[in-house]
Each structure stands twice: as structure tokens, then as C-alpha cells.
Structure 1
């Protein structure tokens, strides 16, 4: 009998039924909202722990931004960890194939491992000391170990590969080590300084997690520089290397192929540079095709548990996105409540918005109830006294706290909540703009109004991502150019150092536009990967060009430089290709990062060995004359 009464009550109140019952009447909607400002992960875990045992015999679908935000970081962590294992196996295989020395590969991974431990330890200690949420390991930080791994790998590969080459030429351990570090200490230091400076631009980001990101990865890079410049040479000096071993006595596959690449590039520098310029121009047009998306729901491929659950809620229930409109005014004034009701109606005119509710709905419902459930009285009463009487009558049988999620204690601030299905980026911008325009034209001037909720958060996050990415890339390139110009004592060298970087950034983001890969707060980190690795390649090339120009004839200079640094650059890029394993991730942004990272390695390494090599060959006379 009670169930029939409830069913009859809901049938008589379709707006309420729409919020609570699915379209086919086979699912019940429960909305849970915390009173305290707790983390999404804690809130999600608490709700699931309570509901799972109670509802174990029912089909349950979880949804909402709090659930997704609280669930995703752990899922991504597990996903990335498993894929990283495959990536590291590929990295080891590439290094072993070329270095052909287990000891050499182990030393490279010693630098990588200690760098990662040092960085994560730094992050943990800073969080423990400061308690700042900036140093929590969130979804954004999942790319941090990958970036540091590529940078630490680069440092280690340069030192070990150069040492093996010097051993082959010098046939003396001590002389080879001195020659190696004499050649690499300055470029490794300079690449570390410029990369740290580039990542520290994140401190100016409006996104709080990126501030901690910048500080943490900067600490990891400094530690990697210390390990590769001091500890790695010390460990190498302790090892008794076999001069007759294949690793030392014979050049590797990459080493032999780089010589051929150098000859092709330096024989036709104008054609090579022109080809590179065409790619860059092609990339520039692709930049205008980039779309931005910050909605976490779109991070999952169809078929994954969370995506299917959210699609189900969008199709059968009230959706997974919310809009909150905060209105300040007299919540017992019929004109204010009428404005609130009109705004709700306008909000619901959007086909994606399933329903909305506010204190105005409660007032209309109470008015109808006291008038013998006459539907014609489901309206806002025409006087403040009548509205006040409705609340007084309710307080006699109910608890006024029932309205705490809709209105404050003094009835001076009210909240409209609208629920919608997933919106595309352009739909979010258009919808919020329409709401703002409607409120300006139709809401009384004495009523203050603020629009918030996940829809607005996504809109603001998109704006922040675009602005932050543009600022970070631009400022990083300027800083790298200035530091390189000061260190190499010439502006032209600074310009040359950033040309491969700028080209790689344009080409990578351009191809994102062509292939429809959205720019999100996850894929935006791609620029950091390009800059972190690309600056290493460019500065090593420039540093060796300047150093060898003092001892090598102009005719042989460019070929000597390519032979000297090209092998390490290609080996570094080739070993980092292991992160292509991320292409198999269940999370679309991580999947994209895997593919783009492979592309970034190709574009930065080949950009250095083709565009930069061709450009320095064309400007060789000016560079040598000024450099001596």
C-alpha cells in the first residue's frame, strides 16, 4: 500500500519523478552530496563502501563528476604502471641492442631509477612538511615519471655512449673518461638548467597541481644532473672494461646508420632545410584545427566500465553533468522566486538538460499541496506572507533543514541545480553564454547571480588550459633562448638552440589538430615532453659544434658533429620509443600521449639532425668566424 501511495505521489508530481526514476521506471536515482569539503577520492570510497554491501543484489551504476574524479587517478595509476613495464622492457631491449653491454645499460638505469626515487621522495617530503595539495599525486602528475625518465635516460645515454666511443679511440680508461666528461659536462649542465627553467614556468599556471608539478620535476632534473655528471662517471671508473668486447671495439647499428644520415643531410643542406620548413608550415595550419576538451568523461573509450556507466546515466537517467546557479536575494519574495522559476525553465530549454530543481519548486509544490493537490495552484504565491505561511506550516510537520541544500538558513541565498547529459566543448561555451545573456535581460538588478557547477568548471578549465599552454611554451622557448645566448656568448646560438624545439612543438600540436586529438590538461603536458627532450638534443649539438670548430677543419666540421652527437641522440630517442606502449591504454589522453611521444621523439631527434644540422652547415662560415 505504501509503495502504491509513493508511486501515485510521483505520478502526480512528474518533475520530482523525473529526478528520481529512470524513463522506463526500472531504476531509482540516489544523489549523495557531502556537507564537508573532502577529497573526491575519499568521498567516492566512502559512498561505495557503504552502498556496495547494501545493494549487492541490485544492478548498480555509479556516476557523477565526484565519482569519476575520485576513481580515475587510481585507475590511471594502475593502467600506466602496467604499460610502463612494457615500455621499460622495450627501452632496455633498444639500449642492449646498441650498447651491447649489460653493465652499460644497468648504469643508465641506475641514473633513471635513482632520479625517479629522488623526485618522488622530494614530492612526499614537501607534502608532509607543507601539507599543500599542490604536491598530491593527482591525474596530472601521472606523466611526471615518464618525463623525468626520458630526461634521465638522455643524460645517462649521452655519457655511456660517448664513453664507449672514446674508449674505442683512446684505448685508455682514464683518458677516455676525462675526454667524455670534458665534452659533456657543460652541455649536460646547460640542458638541465634550461629544462628546469622551462618547467618552472608552470609556477605561474592558474592550475594548482601544475605548480607542484613544476617544482617537483625541477628537483628531479637537478638530481638527475648530479647523478649523471658525478656519480655515473665515478661508477664507470670503478668498472674494468674489456677493450676487446663487441660493445667497445665495434660501432653499433645506430652508430653506423647515423654516418649515412649525416652525409645525406650535409650534401644537400638547402633541400633538407626547405623540407623541414614545409613540415613546419603544414603544422602551423594544423594548429587552427585543435579542439580543447577538459571533460573527464571523454577520457574513456566506449566499452570501459566508467564510460558505459556514464553513457547509461546520460541515456536513461538525469545525466552526469551539473550546473549550479547561486542567487542572492529574498528567497521568500514572490518576484525573486518567479525569476528563479523562469531561469530554470530557460535552463531546461536546452535539449541536453534533463531537469532542474530549486527552492522555487518546493514553494510551488507546497502551494499545490495545501490547495488540495490542484495542479492549477502549482505556482509561486503572489505575496510574501503566503510564502512565509507555507514554510511555517511545513516546519510544524517537517524539518526546515530539509531545504539546506537549496537555500541558506536566513533565506537570503538560493541554489538552482540543473542536471544534464554530457556536453561537447562548443556546447558548454554556447550554453553558459546563453544563460549569462538571459540573466542580464530578465533577472532583476537587485538579485545577484553566480553560475557555477561542473559545466562552468569545464569551460573555465578549457580557457586555463589554452592560456597556460601558450604561456608555458612561449616563455619556455624565450628562457631557453636567453640562457643559451648568454652561455654560448652569442644570440645566434640561442636562436639555433630553440629552432628544433619550436619546429617540433608546431609539428606535434599541428598533427594533433589534423588527427582530431583534443588538447586537455593531460595532453597539454606534451609540450613539456618536447621541450624537456628537445632542448637536450639541440644544446648537445650546438655545444659540440662550438667545441669541435676549434680543432676540426671547416670542411669536415658538420660531419664530425653529426657523428659525435648523432648516435647518442638517435639512441636516446629510440630507447624512449618504448613509451609507445602507452598507445594500448584504456584512457584516451594517455593513449594519445603514447602516440604523440613517439612522434615527439622522431620530430625532435630528426629535427636536430636534419634542420639544425643543415642550418649550421649553411651558416658555418659565420658561426666559425665568430666562434674562434
Structure 2
């Protein structure tokens, strides 16, 4: 008796262990909370991340504001300002909201009844808005730093910002803010076209999209697994066991997430589907072998001995491929990779534990021992064997063609491209970009000089000039600096000549700190920033814009610009530019880990080389197909290319393991017999992979559709390589001697 046959000897105990494991993980899965933080998209330990964190520490987070956009058919008037003030008051009363800024509630300079200039709310509570006051405010809001932020140039669009408290940034608080803004939208939609946007809103929407996709797609995948199992194996065990492994693995991986602290995120629908589809491959291979052996307890024990080790190797390579995503340095992707690795390991364990009981009490598969699929695989090899060299040449030609096309893959990721073009958030962003000052933030830090006073008049005059020139740059929608705030406060400074106003930052920090604090950190630090809003640009255009901004910075200020740009708009594009570098580490890790596992398992460099070449084919051809179809490299598409090698190699492991066993038994025409024995399992698992991943094409979230389509295509390409290219390569080494090693290690 080998360790692989233990579960076959004690099916009741194995079933009890599976039930206990499922119960523990199911209890752990209760109350798991999703996480969607913008920081998870950004690599840790990079200069760009350090600059971003420095800016956050100095000026606060730039992702706290929910936005209510009101579009009127006519310029906003007194009645509109009154409605906006009422909405702002209702939202400001909420405990999670720190403050609300709107055309009616912004703090602005104003002369009181005594003729003194004071800072007060644009429309104080209790004061009826007049046409004259509204006209005065609209004129003020057309000037920096208000321009493009509170009211559109034509006066027909108004914006209300609700900022969350620093200590109230959890999912529940963001959802509460979204609900409050939605309630205001319903109240106001009788009078305006109303949009709800902002980073907190996007995060709630994306989490809910993620959860909705899981609820929609997972039942389809589980239904496909049940249907394929029933049609192929024609027994209760064949239908229900794959379904049980898939369903329990999904439930269990959620519990594992909770236990190890890996919260579900926006990629969780892909995690659950990958675990369900890839995890069920082991039990399909085991059931296929049990059917080949005629069913019964002896067949289960023998199948576990023969197929168990290849299943373990396949699960290990898949787990390593996804676990290698931790090397990308991208927290969101690293978390997903570790979650899938845990799920695949759990699915393998459940397959071993549930198989004996399912076969014992679930009935035997009907039909002939071989089945039509096995004979068709045998017939395929009869056709392919005499054409081996031609097939190898054809596959190599496709490999070269795919590699050539892959060089045309374009890295490009506009910040909102993951949402469909007609999604309400994208519609609102287009409106804000066209009529207001845009929503994509970019910050230009102005640290204190190496020598000299940071707020010296001459230097601040240059800062004002730089800001003015930035407003003229194509792609920049708005730009503001601390000098704009000083210009707005000039009524306080009637005795000060206009040319001396830029040098009064320290005075403003003492007398009206709230007015300049958004642009200036603590006076002792001397750090300033120029705040910009930019268009949602393609990556190439965005980096051309960044280069232009840095050139202007050095030209006007005479100081180095490197490391001065930050903000989510900059950081996201930086990741896109370096995305190949980030994912290259994960792919190379998967390649090296798979090679080591194969060499450890088969102790044959030729077999390792053949397996690697066979499985590089779907990777390279997939990259070429993506380029030909216009799929751009983004998070998900780069992720797919990083892990498909680890997925594709699973069937190769099963094929080679069966070939070594059959070859060692002295079976004539070992390769043809291997295709008859292993081929059905390869076809069935590839079919399940294609159907399961193809279900993602029904997702409403664009990245999941890309992931589903590319992984389904990869499953088809990998199957073609395993059925045609792999046998042809094995025959190149002196007939069928490629894997004619001794029986040692052939069955584990």
C-alpha cells in the first residue's frame, strides 16, 4: 500500500475528514469583508509610491470625496443655489462626512454690512439667495482656484463635494456616502440631470460589480461542470463529484482568505472561477482513469496510485504559477495569486478525500471501458504519427508568427477603461471633463530649495508663472497653486501691491490657514504643490504630458523635476508603463519552478525541454492573438500571460506521466496507447477550462471578459499542443524512446 491509496482503503474516514475541513472553512468564511484600496494597485517600495505617500502625509488623501454633479438646462440661479445648500446641509449632517463643499457652501471672501472683508460661507444659513449674490458667486467661481471645480464656465453645471473623515474610510462608510448621494440624486432628478461619482463611489461600485459577477457567473460554471460530468461519466459519482469539489473549493477558499488575512478584492470573481474550473481538473483525471479500469474499489486504489502523483505535480505547478504573482510587487495581483494557489491546493485535497466514497456509493460509469473519445484520440495519433516532422515545423512556424505579432502588444490603460463606455460613472466623467475641470488628479510637488527661503517672493512669482503656463498645456484641464489662493485673499491686503502678493504665504498661513492649506504643508516643511486635473489619456499621450510638465518645471523654476509628479493619475500610468517589468518576474518564476518540478519528477532533461517548448507554444501564440485582436496590455491581460504557462503544463504532466508508466509496462505503440488513456482526460479538462473561463465573457466588468476570453483560448491552444506537438516531439528522439526510463518513479 502506498500513501496514495490510503483514502481508498478508508473511504468513510476520508469523507469525514472532507466534511470536517469544509465545516471549519465554511465557518471561517462567514463575515469576510472585501477590500478595494487604491494603494493595492500600486507597487510597494518604489520611488513613485514613496512620493505619493509623502504627498498624502503632507496634504491628506486624494480619494475621500464623493461628488454630486447637477446639470441644468439654464444657468444656475437663486432657486438652484438654495437646493444645493439644502442638499449640502443634509449630507454634512452625516457622521462619516467631514465637510461638504459646493457653490452654495464654499468659504469665500465677502464684504459684510460694515464694509469689512470676511471669510464666510457663500450663502450663509438663513440668508435667502438673491440674483445679485448668485451672479457675484458665478463670476468668482470662474476665476482660479475655483475655475472648473464648483461651476462650469457656462454656469449650467454645479458640483457638490462630500469628503469622508480620515478615520471613516472603510467599505461601510463609503457605501453609506454613496447611498446618501444617491438619495440626493433622487430628490434632485426632477430638476436636473444628476450624476454621482468620485473615488469612494467607484470603489463601492467596483466591489458590488465584483460580488454581482460572482453571483451571476459562478452558478453558470458549476452548472457546466455538472452537465459535462453527467454527460461524460453517466453516473451519480461522475456528475456530482466534480460539482462537489468545485463548490466546496470555492467555499473553502473564502474561509482560507479569512484565516490568512487575504481579503476578497475586485479580482475575486476570477479567483472563484479559476479555483472551481482548474481545481476540478484533478478529479476529472481521476474519474477518467477509474472508468478506464472498470470502476470499483480496486480501480479507485489503482487510479490514485497512477494518477495521484501527476495530479499532485499539476496542482503544484499551478499553485506555483499563481503564487509567483507575489513577485509582481502589486498587492492586488499578489493577493489574487496567493488566493488561487490556496484554492488549487484545497481542491486537490478534496479530490483525494471524496473520490473513494463517491465511487463506492455513486455507482459505476456506464458505457464501454474505452469509450468513443479514447478511440478518437487513438485515431488522431494514427493520423499524426507519420506527419510528425511536418507538425513540428507547422507549430514552430506558428510560434514564430505568434512571437512576431506579440512584439506589437501595446501597453495602454486609460484610467476608466475597465468600465464599459456607457457606465454611469464614465458618462459622468465625460461630462466633468467636457464642462468642468476633470476628475483625474495630478500633483506637482514643489519642495523647499536646497538653499534659500521656500516662500521667497521671487520663487513664488515663478510658481505662479509655472501654474499659468501649465494651464495652457494640451491635456491639462485645470491648475492651481497657493498663489491663486493669495490672489483670492487680496481684498484683505489692500495696502499690498499686486506684485508682492505671491510672497505672502506665511502671512496667509497665520491669518487664513484653511484658504492656503490645500497647497502648502506645515510652514516648517516648506513643501508646496500645484494641483492639476488632466484628461483621461492613453498611456503614450499621458507620458508625453508628464514630460512636458517636467520640462516646464525645470524651465520656469530652475530646479530638478524628477520625482516631483505624483497623484493617482500619474501613479496609475507609471504602473501601466512598467507592467511588463512587474509581471516578468512572475512569469520567469513560473517557468523556472515548473522546470524544476518536471526535472525532479522525470529526471530527464529532454523531457523537461519538450514539456517547456510544448507549453511555451500557447503562451506565445496567445500573446500574438491578443496583439492581432487589439487587446492591450493591462493588469488582467498581463496577468493572464504571466500564469498561462503554469496552467497549460498541467495536461503535459499527465500525458508524460502516463506515457512513462505505459512505456515501462512494455506496451507496444506506447504513445498511441497514452493518447487513448490520457487523451480523454486532457480533452475533458480542457473542455471544462474553456467553458468555465468562457463564462467570464458574460461578465459586465471588462477586465473579467478579457481574462475569460484569453484563458479559454489558452485552454484550446494548450490542448492542441498536447495532442499533436508533444507526441511529435517525443518521437523525434529515436522513435518512442524519449521517455523510456526505468520503472523507478513512474508511478510515484
TM-score (norm. length: structure 2): 0.75
Distance 1:344 1:424, change over 3 A: same
Q: Give the alignment's Cα RMSD to 1 decimal.
A: 2.8
2:138 maps to: 10
2:291 maps to: 164
2:416 maps to: 297
2:601 maps to: 487
Distance 1:116 1:248, change over 3 A: same
Bigger RCO (CA 8 Å, 6+ sep): 1
- What runs of 5+ residues in structure 1 fail to find an aligned partner? 128-134
Give the deviation of 1:560 after TM superposition. 0.7
Is residue 213 of structure 2 the alignment partner of residue 79 of structure 1?
Answer: yes
1:433 maps to: 547
CA contact (8 A) 1:162 1:180 kept: yes
CA contact (8 A) 1:545 1:557 kept: yes
In structure 1, distance between residues paired with 2:327 and 2:256: 21
TM-score (norm. length: structure 1): 0.88
Give the deviation of 1:538 after TM superposition. 0.9
Q: How does 1:596-611 map to 2 (within 5 A)?
A: 596-611=710-725
Matched position secondary structure for 1:540: helix
Q: Deviations over 1:585-613 (max 9, x none)?
A: 22221111222122111011111111112
CA contact (8 A) 1:328 1:449 kept: no
Give the deviation of 1:489 after TM superposition. 1.1
Is residue 247 of structure 2 the alignment partner of residue 118 of structure 1?
Answer: no
Matched position secondary structure for 2:318: helix
CA contact (8 A) 1:91 1:576 kept: no
1:615 maps to: 729
Is residue 334 of structure 2 the alignment partner of residue 204 of structure 1?
Answer: no
Is residue 378 of structure 2 the alignment partner of residue 278 of structure 1?
Answer: no
Is residue 706 of structure 2 the alignment partner of residue 576 of structure 1?
Answer: no
Greater Cα shift, 205-214 or 523-532: 523-532
Q: How does 1:362-373 map to 2 (within 5 A)?
A: 362-367=485-490, 370=493
CA contact (8 A) 1:91 1:577 kept: no
Distance 1:448 1:481, change over 3 A: closer
Give the deviation of 1:485 after TM superposition. 0.8
2:465 maps to: 342
CA contact (8 A) 1:301 1:587 kept: yes
Greater Cα shift, 407-416 or 474-483: 407-416
1:136 maps to: 263
Distance 1:518 1:380, change over 3 A: farther
Is residue 674 of structure 2 the alignment partner of residue 561 of structure 1?
Answer: yes
Distance 1:445 1:79, change over 3 A: same
Q: Deviations over 1:512-532 (max 9, x none)?
A: 111111222223332355234
In structure 2, distance between residues paired with 1:496 and 1:18: 61
Give the deviation of 1:148 after TM superposition. 1.5
CA contact (8 A) 2:284 2:685 kept: yes
Give the deviation of 1:408 after TM superposition. 2.0
Greater Cα shift, 534-543 or 186-195: 186-195
CA contact (8 A) 1:95 1:571 kept: no
In structure 1, distance between residues paired with 2:228 and 2:155: 58
Is residue 455 of structure 2 the alignment partner of residue 332 of structure 1?
Answer: yes
Distance 1:388 1:532, change over 3 A: closer
2:299 maps to: 176
Counting helix residues as a fraction of each chain, which structure ranks higher? 1
Is residue 633 of structure 2 the alignment partner of residue 506 of structure 1?
Answer: no
Distance 1:110 1:9, change over 3 A: closer
In structure 1, distance between residues paired with 2:740 and 2:184: 81
1:235 maps to: 357
Give the deviation of 1:232 after TM superposition. 2.9
In structure 1, distance between residues paired with 2:718 and 2:737: 25
CA contact (8 A) 1:61 1:309 kept: yes
- What runs of 5+ residues in structure 2 fail to find an aligned partner? 1-128, 744-748
1:357 maps to: 480
1:50 maps to: 180
Matched position secondary structure for 1:61: strand
Distance 1:3 1:459, change over 3 A: same
Give the deviation of 1:550 after TM superposition. 1.1
In structure 2, distance between residues paired with 1:581 and 1:446: 51
Aligned length: 602
Give the deviation of 1:627 after TM superposition. 5.0
Greater Cα shift, 525-534 or 311-320: 525-534
Is residue 280 of structure 2 the alignment partner of residue 153 of structure 1?
Answer: yes
Q: Deviations over 1:227-249 (max 9, x none)?
A: 223x133213532635xx6x343
CA contact (8 A) 2:310 2:654 kept: yes
In structure 2, distance between residues paired with 1:505 and 1:446: 42
In structure 1, distance between residues paired with 2:404 and 2:470: 37
Greater Cα shift, 590-599 or 206-215: 206-215
CA contact (8 A) 1:293 1:519 kept: yes
In structure 2, distance between residues paired with 1:534 and 1:544: 17
Q: Specify which of 282, 288, 293 is matched with residue 407 of structure 2.
A: 288
